[in-house]
Each structure stands twice: as C-alpha cells, then as structure tokens.
Amino acid sequence: MTTDAAYTELSACLRRTHLLDSIGQLLGWDEQVNLPADSADLRAEQLAVLAEIQNAAAANPRTGELLALLEPSDLEADQVAVVRQARRDYDRATRLPPDFVREKAMQASRGYHAWARARAENDFASYAPVLEQNLEIARREAGYLGWAGREYDYMIDLHDPGMSAELIARLFAELKTGLVPLVRQITGSPVRARTDLLRGFPVEGQRAFLREVTARLGFDYRRGRIDVSLHPFCSGTGADIRMTTRFNADEPLDALFSSIHETGHGLYEQGLPRAHHGTALGMNAGMGVHESQSRLWENQVARSRGFWRHFEPRFRALFPAQTGGVSADELYLAINAVVPTLIRVDADEVTYNLHVILRFEIERRLFAGTLAVRDLPAAWTAAAQELLGLTPGSDREGVLQDVHWSGGAFGYFPSYCLGNMMAAQLWYRALALRPDLEADFARGDFTWLLGWLRREVHAAGRRHELPELVRRVTGAAFSPQPLLRYLRERYGPLFPA
C-alpha cells in the first residue's frame, strides 16, 4: 500500500468519526434546547447506543494499522500534524481498559449527583469521598496513557495540547503579580458602575438586537443558529453551528455578551478549513485557543468605545423607555463594570482571571499530593481572601460552586485564562497592523479583524500548539503582559484612583 493511499484511507476513517461526533453534538444540543420533559429516557438510550458506535469507530483496528504504516513514512508537514492527532485520539480510544471506561462513566454520573446534593445542602463532607475517587480515576487514566508521574500535565494536555502545569504556573504567577494591585486600584476608585440602571428590557427586543450584532460581527446564520437554553453554549461543527443564550429582562447585557462570547466560538469553528473537518487541519487548536476567540470578540471588541459608537444608537432606538434616563457614560461604565465576587461565573473580565488562578493552584496541589481533599474548604477560603479579598460565607460560595470536578474534569479551568491572555496578545498584534481598528468598529465594520483571524488563527487548524501559534501570529513569546496592559488601558481611565 502506498503512503498516499494509506493517508487517504486514514482521512476517511477520521471523517467518519467526526461525523458520528457531530451527530452526538446535535442530539446533545437538542436535549438542552428542545427535548420534551418525558423524552429524556429515550434520549439517554439514543446517546448510549451512539457512544458505543463512536467508541468502536475511534478504536477501529484499521486505524491502528494505517498509523503504524504512516508514522515511519516520509510525510509532508500537514500530514505529520494529521497523523500525530490521529495517534493521540486512537491511543485514547484503545489504551483505556473497557472496565475502566465503564467505571469512569458511572463515577462521573455518581459524582454529578453527589455534587448537586452537597451543593444544595452545603455539605462538603458528603462530597469529599467522591472527589477523592475522581482524583484516583484521573491518576489511573493518566497512567494508562503513559503519563504516570505527570498526571496533572496529562489533564491539562487533554484540553490544551502542549501546555504543562509548570509553564502555566510561571505565566499565572506573573499575571497575579500585576493583577492583584490593579483590582485593588479599580475597586478602590470612587467611580462606581451602575448595572442596576438597566431594567425591564423586553426579550423580543433583546433577541433582535443580539441577532443583528452577531450577524454584523460575521456569524454566518446560513450555517448556524442561536436558541435558548439554561446555560449558554456553542456546539456543532463549522458546517452547522448551534449556539444558545438565555434572557433576563433585568440583565440585557448578560444575554448580549454571552451571545457575543458564543459567537466568537462559532466564528472560529466556521473559519476552520471546511475541506478538512475531522482531521487536525480542520480542527480547533484546543480550549485555550477557542477561548481566545470567544474572549476577543466578547471583551476587546464588544466592550470597546468604537463598538458602542456604532451600536448604541440602535440599542437606544430598540429600548427608548429603558435607556432614556441612562447617559452614554453610565451605559459604558455598566458595560465595563468590575465588581469582585465569590462566584466565578458572575465575575467580570478583570477578576475572572483570579478565579482561574485560584482553581489552578488548588488543582496543582491536589495532584502533587500537598493538599488533601478534606482540607479543600480551608484552602479555598484562604485563597479567596488572598486573591479576591473576599471570604466565602459557605462552601456553596467556595469549593462547591463549580460542577467541573464532579465529573472528573480537572485541568480545564486554566484554559479560560490562557484564552484571555492569548486574546489580548492577538488584539495588540491586530492593532499594530491596523491602528484604526476601532474606527472600523465605529462604522460597524468588523471584516478586517475577522479576515485577519481567519487567515492567521482559523486557517491553521490544529497544526500548532498554543504557545507556538501565538509566536507565529504575533512574533512574540506567549505572555501575560499584553493582558495586563489591556486591562490597565481599558479599566484604568474608567476607574481612576
């Protein structure tokens, strides 16, 4: 068999796995958006059958044969990237014993329910043994895949290929040094944002506005849609993106900014090379890069003066009664409010990073064995005081607030902050190339920025790991300094000492 024939056959296998995955995503989207209340059992069965088919496809022995044939061959750079990713996925599908996979799935479900109960009753003690089992399962999984001794690195690499705990620790330490005093300055400012000014925004108007905004940013509604769900998300593939949002009449900025965030994810997926969906060339580069795209549109773009110069008149026209007594400055301050909170999902873009640093430091100690699960609540309280200057009134406001660990998702939190860092670095590179970028926005023109991201980030697929992608696009090493600079430049003038 020639190398070309083997490569073509491998691509077809990967494409099939990708299509099965996209079917699963569609069923998952439907479950959260449309599913009638009493149809959940059928959906669970459907998803279980599909998971069996997906696993069989991912572990197809033929894929193993093709990889064994291709790996020693002389391949082009693009083919090397495809084969490397295929090996990663194949090993994950084949190296975990079936008993372990079953145990892990059952534990994830058990963990979720134990967490939900513990959170409702503020009872960490009942959740602690489950969390210990989750950690043990994560360690075993890392061992099966050849990461013994580097278990936390394995968890990080799952979400952000190429990143490690040591590298993240260095980046976060530098970020923390700059961020803690900046937050103190902002919260010490006599200027206060008034988010309570925005009340009673009819959902229909909100829906119309966010649809206009996201279409203008470049989201292609012929290859995607937006609906309502309990928690906003973005799923699907570039050929069919499903985004969701949620509406609250008294929090119009929540629906708008969460939609713009998901639009950033959607634009990235829509920009991945269509002919290569299913292989590394048409695949996103990991969670951190994904978040860089959502954050860039949500924060750098949609919280800018230029953006609001264009959209504010339309916003006021849609909601004349609600915005009548609100000045332009008051509106812009509400859009850029910074208020430290104990709850990560309620955090603004400045303090959000501190929530991530807190979780990363705790996860790292858990995996290193220097922090015991039973000591988590105390460690969390100490970290919240140090980083946020706040003391949780209960474990619900502390260690029990996030769902992630209950399902065994360790190493996931850092992606959010890596994404913020990368977004700021991309932003300054874009500004260096096009200094009047905000003048584009003021005209409602986002085509230059999207075109640049398409060429530099989206078209690359998963050829490069995050630090290398950043270096290629910006010419500089991946660093927290651009994020610190951006936060200082945007929030310093708004909240003077």
In this structure, are residues 440 and 434 in contact, taking their beta carbons and an 8 Å threshold?
A: yes
Which residues share a beta bridge with 53? none
- Of 266 and 392, nearer to Zn ion (C-beta) is 266
Q: If 0-12 CB within 10 Å is exposed, 13-18 middle and 19+ buried, where does residue 16 land?
A: middle
Q: Compute the distance between CA of residue 255 and CA of residue 264 in angstroms, rounded to an integer.
A: 14
Q: Compute the distance between CA of residue 174 and CA of residue 172 in angstroms, rounded to an integer.
A: 5
In this structure, are residues 281 and 76 in contact, taking their beta carbons and an 8 Å threshold?
A: no
**Annotated catalytic residue 262:** yes
In this structure, are residues 397 and 102 in contact, taking their beta carbons and an 8 Å threshold?
A: no
Give the shortest CB-261-to-Zn ion separation in angstroms. Answer: 6
In this structure, are residues 488 and 185 in contact, taking their beta carbons and an 8 Å threshold?
A: no
Which residues share a beta bridge with 485? none
Pattern 245-284, Zn ion, x by CB under 5 A? ----------------------------------------
Q: Compute the distance between CA of residue 486 and CA of residue 128 in angstroms, rounded to an integer.
A: 39
Give the shortest CB-297-to-Zn ion separation in angstroms. Answer: 11
Angle between helices 203-217 and 252-271 (to 10 degrees): 30
The tokens for 471 are 């270096």
Contact region with Zn ion (CB under 5 A), list: 286-294, 301-309, 314-322, 440-448: 286-294
Give the shortest CB-234-to-Zn ion separation in angstroms. Answer: 7
CB proximity list for 129: less than 8 A, separation 6 or greater: none
Give the shortest CB-291-to-Zn ion separation in angstroms. Answer: 5
Which residues share a beta bridge with 241? 224, 236
Q: First CA to last CA across the chain, in angstroms?
A: 71
In this structure, are residues 292 and 475 in contact, taking their beta carbons and an 8 Å threshold?
A: no
Contact region with Zn ion (CB under 5 A), list: 158-166, 216-224, 291-299, 402-410: 291-299
Q: Compute the distance between CA of residue 497 and CA of residue 492 in angstroms, rounded to an integer.
A: 8
Does residue number 415 form part of the binding site for Zn ion (CB under 5 A)?
Answer: no
The 8-class DSSP code of residue 420 comes to: H
Q: Which of 151, 262, 349, 465 is catalytic?
A: 262
Give the shortest CB-284-to-Zn ion separation in angstroms. Answer: 12
- Of 418 and 470, nearer to Zn ion (C-beta) is 418
Count of residues of this chain found to bind Zn ion when the rule CB under 5 A is applied: 1
Contact region with Zn ion (CB under 5 A), list: 36-44, 62-70, 289-297, 420-428: 289-297
Please, which of residues 3-22 interact with Zn ion by CB under 5 A?
Answer: none
Give the shortest CB-417-to-Zn ion separation in angstroms. Answer: 12
CA distances from 74 to 71, 77, 133 (A): 8, 10, 44
Give residue 212's Cα distance to chain centre.
Answer: 24
Give the shortest CB-298-to-Zn ion separation in angstroms. Answer: 8
Q: Compute the distance between CA of residue 123 and CA of residue 135 in angstroms, rounded to an integer.
A: 19
> How many helices and strands (H and E) does the chain possess?
21, 3
Please, which of residues 35-64 interact with Zn ion by CB under 5 A?
Answer: none
Contact region with Zn ion (CB under 5 A), list: 205-213, 243-251, 294-302, 356-364: 294-302
- Of 131 and 213, nearer to Zn ion (C-beta) is 213
In this structure, are residues 205 and 234 in contact, taking their beta carbons and an 8 Å threshold?
A: no
Q: Which of 17, 244, 294, 420 binds Zn ion (CB under 5 A)?
A: 294
Give the shortest CB-382-to-Zn ion separation in angstroms. Answer: 28
The tokens for 440 are 């584009």
Give the shortest CB-213-to-Zn ion separation in angstroms. Answer: 17
Q: If 0-12 CB within 10 Å is exposed, 13-18 middle and 19+ buried, where does residue 108 land?
A: middle
Q: Compute the distance between CA of residue 274 and CA of residue 267 in angstroms, rounded to an integer.
A: 13
Active-site residue list? 262
Q: Which residues bind Zn ion (CB under 5 A)?
A: 294
